[in-house]
Amino acid sequence: MNERKVYPFTAIVGQEQMKTALILNIINPMLGGVLIRGEKGTAKSTAVRALAELMPNIKKVKGCKFGCDPYGAEFCPECEAKIASGEAFEIVESKMQVTDLPVSATEDRVVGTLDIEYAIKHGEKKFECGILAQANRNILYVDEVNLLDDHVVDVLLDSAAMGVNTIEREGISYSHPARFTLVGTMNPEEGDLRPQLLDRFGLVVDVTGENSKEQRAEVVRRRLEFEENPDLFAQRFEDSQNELSNRIAAAKKILKSVTYDNDILMMAATLSLALGVDGHRADITMIKTAMTIAAFHNRTQVSKEDLKNAAILVLPHRMRRTPFESGVLDENAIEQILLSNE
């Protein structure tokens, strides 16, 4: 059976903000994920599926059900036991995957389960993997995230922030790495997330259909060409796909070298205070996002422009609706706030 062809990421027409938010979270999974809100048919799912194709193969410990990085600093209990015993890792390579989390998923299905009876009888832990185990070092995709049980969403966001999944039952606990890029999509017409949960997503993007006749026509043209001959269509975008993939890989390498000065910190604080943002999560995420934007542009110093672009992705879903009733924050609004606070 032929493998189903994925629509190329670079072939998606428009939706630049959505594509940027996804790329930034691939470069830096510690941004806390991205929530994409929009009406049906705006390439939300298409973009997420296409994202994994941009990623190079990743190295894993052979046989590890969590896909531990053999050169990393965090390991599951089984891999830690191998290290303690002096056993060498066998290493394999595989493609980064998109792991789906269905709306009907229960907490046990998400976090996994511990066999208490086995632990009592044999004196050792027996863990059945959940979706978070499969998602480690991959993309975790939740379509219609607003329809998930709030508690399950809480668990997801906690794991995304901490990079670890811990399950506790009857005084027995088990932890494993759960570093994934969290992507949620939703149609606001079907209900919204509670503000407390919305705030936990690092970035939020609102998408709509293209307003230009030319752009809409190009969307249709490309889609029909892809359906007619997926392989030929993919060949057209092979160079741009490779170029973007290489750019992401380069950004991941220099991210740890990116720095910022005190002016950038003060700008972030000014924006959060002016918009009445609660807590400090927004400020921290704004700086992290600005650093990731700088890395994506192959720079090691965060600029004022980087922070502006970060604010557009980080602040709108956290700010009070006044003076921007629509909840839209653009570059002009940012400039006005910064000028009025000089």
Residues marked active site are found at 281
Q: Answer yes or no: are the C-beta atoms of 34 and 184 closer than 8 Å.
A: yes
Picking from 52, 51, 32, the residue whose alpha carbon sits closest to that of residue 310 is 32
Picking from 77, 80, 169, 67, the residue whose alpha carbon sits closest to that of residue 118 is 169
Question: Alpha-carbon distance 220 to 14, whole Å?
Answer: 13
Any idea what DSSP says for residue 163? S
Residue pointed to by tokens 């978070």: 132
Cross-sheet strand order for the sheet of 139-143: 98-100, 139-143, 181-186, 34-38, 203-207
Question: Alpha-carbon distance 45 to 98, whole Å?
Answer: 11
Residue pointed to by tokens 């503000």: 195
Tokens of 290: 């600005």
With a CB cutoff of 8 Å and minimum separation 6, the contacts of 297 are: 306
C-alpha to C-alpha distances, 231 to 237, 239, 307, nearest whole angstrom: 10, 14, 39
Three-state DSSP class for 38?
strand
Question: Alpha-carbon distance 25 to 160, whole Å?
Answer: 11
- Helix H or strand E segment including 142: strand 139-143
Three-state DSSP class for 299?
coil
Round the CA-based radius of gyration of the chain to a whole number and report it: 21
